[in-house]
Amino acid sequence: MGLDLKDILKLYRDPILARRIVDKIWEYSKKVDKVMIMHVCGTHEWTITHYGIRSLLPDNIEVRAGPGCPVCILPAQDIDSIIKLALDEDLTVLSYGDVSRAKGGSGYSLEDSKALGFDLKIVYSIQDAYEIALSNKDRKFIFFGVGFDTTAPSTAYMILKGVPDNLIFLSSYRYVPPSIGYIIQAEDIMVDGIINPGHSSTVTGMAPYRKYFESKPIPMVFSGFEPIDVLISIYMILRQIISGEYRMENEYSRSVTWDGNVKAMNTLFKVFKLLDGLWRGIGVIDGSGFEFKDEFRNINARYLYDLEYPNKDSHMPSGCRCADIIKGKITPIECPLYMKMCRPDKPIGPCMVSIEGTCRIWAEHMILSKAGET
């Protein structure tokens, strides 16, 4: 093709095209009442925030973050468990960078608790974890498996390939499609359209979403992560709402297919089984938690050390209505804690803790829109 990666990315960040799409979104916004579009992906939120997409949208088009960041929905119990285990058993914890900052039930993250005396190493990938374990045979390591169906296949792959015997795992991986099902099947759902997660869907494919879509059709667009991708996806959802014909549409056709990455999915299910999974701030979602199959007990820290499998959100602060906010039932200002006890500088619920949380975004975005009016 002769086009460099940089040039391709430039096409998807083109300010003139962005302006044209935004104009069209404004035009369409006049034909609809209030529209709430939910995305369920930390990286979509990053794109939306980083490029200031909300500041370009009309007031009646809201884009809200759903339960889409593995770090935010990571059960507090698992964070506490791994900290305690690392201290008791003198393990070095290998963790992704953002995971190391997620707060446990006691309000402390891996990064905070490191000061108590265990070793924490940040890794970019499972292979980096593997290499560290291999070259430090005198130490014992635990890899904190956090992420979605996007991330878990790499762990499954390495485990099948064989890992050094000084490396064990704790799985807090979650399966995304049931969480979308949970959102759209909720009786009191207020969401008018969903931006589906492009990279998770790259692995799972669009197919697992069909049953949820058919059970309750709602505009659903599988979206890429450049600003133009997100703007087009918002446009596509509005187009569906106006035409009244709801579909599963694929904006991210350069990466997402109907069947997804079959090899990755097969690898994933060779190592993991699905249990009901706890999503912090939301509750238990059926068939959404990846746990190691029995034949992998020898590397499964949960089995080896009899760690609790999180099944209830015992650490949710009282009064916090994060779950309702994530479902789109209420806006942050309807939560009694919002901007009173719970603020960006003193967060209580996961929606305020994470920079991708809806409350956090509201808190910061409202300041910005006020600034825009003056």
Please, which of residues 206-235 interact with another protein by CB under 8 A?
225, 227-228, 231-232
d(CA 230, CA 251): 9
Amino acid at 282: I
Residue closer to another protein (CB basis): 114 or 330: 114
Q: Provide the b/e sequence for 83-122 (b: ≥16 CB within 10 Å).
A: bbbbeeeebbbbbbebbbbbbbbeebbbbebbeeebebee
Locate 215 and state its tokens: 């059970």
55 is a site residue for another protein (CB under 8 A): yes
Quick one: which segment of 117-125, 162-170, 270-278, 293-301 binds another protein (CB under 8 A)?
Answer: 117-125
Q: Are 281 and 67 in contact (CB under 8 A)?
A: yes
CB of 336 to another protein, least distance (A): 25
Q: Count interface residues toward another protein (CB under 8 A).
A: 108
276 is a site residue for another protein (CB under 8 A): no
DSSP element (H, E) containing 369: helix 358-373
Quick one: which segment of 129-137, 274-282, 286-294, 313-321 binds another protein (CB under 8 A)?
Answer: 129-137
d(CA 360, CA 349): 10
128 is a site residue for another protein (CB under 8 A): yes
On the 0-12 / 13-18 / 19+ scale of CB atoms within 10 A, 210 is middle
Locate 187 and state its tokens: 């009786």
200 is a site residue for another protein (CB under 8 A): yes
CB of 180 to another protein, least distance (A): 11
Judged by CB under 8 A, the chain residues 278 through 297 that form the site for another protein are none
Judged by CB under 8 A, the chain residues 300 through 319 that form the site for another protein are none
Q: How far apart are the first and last CA of the chain?
A: 47
* The only residue of 1, 31, 138, 295 in contact with another protein, by rule CB under 8 A: 1
Residue closer to another protein (CB basis): 305 or 330: 305
d(CA 337, CA 253): 41
49 is a site residue for another protein (CB under 8 A): yes
Quick one: which segment of 97-105, 183-191, 215-223, 335-343 binds another protein (CB under 8 A)?
Answer: 97-105
267 is a site residue for another protein (CB under 8 A): yes
54 is a site residue for another protein (CB under 8 A): yes
Quick one: which segment of 104-112, 183-191, 285-293, 294-302 binds another protein (CB under 8 A)?
Answer: 104-112
SS (H, E, C) 5-56: HHHHHHHCCCHHHHHHHHHHHHHHHCCCCCEEEEECCHHHHHHHHHCCHHHH
Residue closer to another protein (CB basis): 200 or 300: 200
* The only residue of 60, 106, 185, 314 in contact with another protein, by rule CB under 8 A: 106
* The only residue of 50, 211, 297, 312 in contact with another protein, by rule CB under 8 A: 50
Among 197, 140, 190, 195, which Cα is nearest to 163's? 140
CA-CA-CA-CA torsion sign (73, 75, 76, 80): negative
Quick one: which segment of 110-118, 185-193, 207-215, 294-302 binds another protein (CB under 8 A)?
Answer: 110-118
